[in-house]
Amino acid sequence: MNIIGSAVVLTVDDPALSSRFFVSHLGFREVLVAQGITHLARDDAATDIVLRSSVGPGISQRHPPTQVRAVVSFTVTGIHAEYERLRREGARITLPPRMEPWGEWGLQLTDPNGVVIQLVEWIPPAGA
């Protein structure tokens, strides 16, 4: 198998709200906007994001969606500078930067539809 790309598909109540969040705060751009679907991409190695409406065509009314809490995680550099930028922009930061025991800095944001975005940066322990 030769995988040449990847995307995370998120079903949300209002794709336009999530799209504005990903575009404004995380540097994505809209590649395709169609009925109930918005495809977002970046020019780096980030996974594409596809936002799908939780109502409308293609959504089964017989089987209501199961509430699944997904976390979209991006590895970044300069996490503290990103935190300050996001704070200035008014992004909803739901967990400020913290150091995990295994040497990873992490912070979490939540978009208007409740999608949790985690930013992480690996900082090797001193002497490693």
* Model confidence band, residue 64 (pLDDT cutoffs 50, 70, 90): low
Task: Please check whether residue 95 is in contact with residue 89, taking contact to mean a CB–CB distance below 8 angstroms.
Answer: no
Read off the pLDDT of residues 7-19 as tens digits, 9 standing for 90 and up.
999 999 999 999 9
Compute the distance between CA of residue 107 and CA of residue 119 in angstroms, rounded to an integer: 5
Mean pLDDT of the 83-108 span: 93
Distance CA 114, CA 55 (A): 16
Look at residue 68 in the predicted model and tell me its pLDDT: 52
Task: Check if the beta carbon of residue 32 is closer than 8 Å to that of residue 20.
Answer: no
Return the structure tokens found at 1.
Answer: 């198998």
Q: Helix H segments across 27-96?
A: 79-89
- Please, where are the H alpha helices in 55-102? 79-89
Q: Is the pLDDT of residue 62 over 50?
A: no
